[in-house]
Amino acid sequence: MVEGIASIWRNIPQRYRLEGNYCENCGTAYFPPRVVCVKCRRQGKLKTKIFCGKGKIETYTKVYTAPTGLELEVPYYLAIINLSEGPSILGQLVETDSEKIKIGSNVEFIFRKMREDGEEGLIQYGYKFKIV
């Protein structure tokens, strides 16, 4: 499924600079941002937080069949990254050498072109991760 343009614009803060939020009451961090703290409910007070983008690979998989727009990228690796501030997020690794990708490897956020819709279409940018 190709993502709608309204959704692309709405998610730019998350995609461009890992903008999530955290609860001032209990300290729990959320990415993507939440409207209500899961732990504190109405007592929670959520504030915007830009994550540093450093984390570790929790698990990963190799993708051979890509969704629309990513066909030229295959095969590529998708990983669940545990950010140092707490939340786990799904992201593509720029690394393609399976010898270098390990559970527990340190990674960091990088800003990259994600896909484009045709030759004259919208170019989408977002985050990927590289092993450090």
Q: Does 46 bind Zn ion (CB under 5 A)?
A: no
- Amino acid identity, position 45: K
CB-based contacts of 104, cutoff 8 Å, min separation 6 = 56, 57
Q: Return the number of the residue (46 or 79) whose C-beta is nearest Zn ion.
A: 46
Q: How far apart are CA 118 and CA 61, in angstroms?
A: 27
45 binds Zn ion (CB under 5 A): no
Identify which of residues 36 and 52 has a Cβ nearer to Zn ion in the complex. Answer: 36
DSSP assignment of 71-109 = GGG-SEEEEEEEETTS-EEEEEES---TTT--TT-EEEE
| 37 touches Zn ion (CB under 5 A) | yes
How far apart are alpha carbons 70 and 112 in whole angstroms?
13
Of 17 and 39, CB closest to Zn ion: 39
Q: In the bound complex, what is the minimum distance in angstroms from residue 20's beta carbon to Zn ion?
A: 14
Interacting span for Zn ion (CB under 5 A) from 21-29, 48-56, 79-87, 99-107: 21-29
Residue 66 dihedral angles phi and psi, to the nearest 5°: -95, 155
* From candidates 25, 82, 84, 124, binder to Zn ion by CB under 5 A: 25
Q: Work out how close the CB of 95 gets to Zn ion at its nearest, in angstroms, rounded to a whole number.
A: 35
d(CA 30, CA 11): 15
Measured from the CB atom, is 49 or 115 closer to Zn ion? 49
Note the residues at the interface with Zn ion (CB under 5 A).
23, 25-26, 37, 39-40, 44
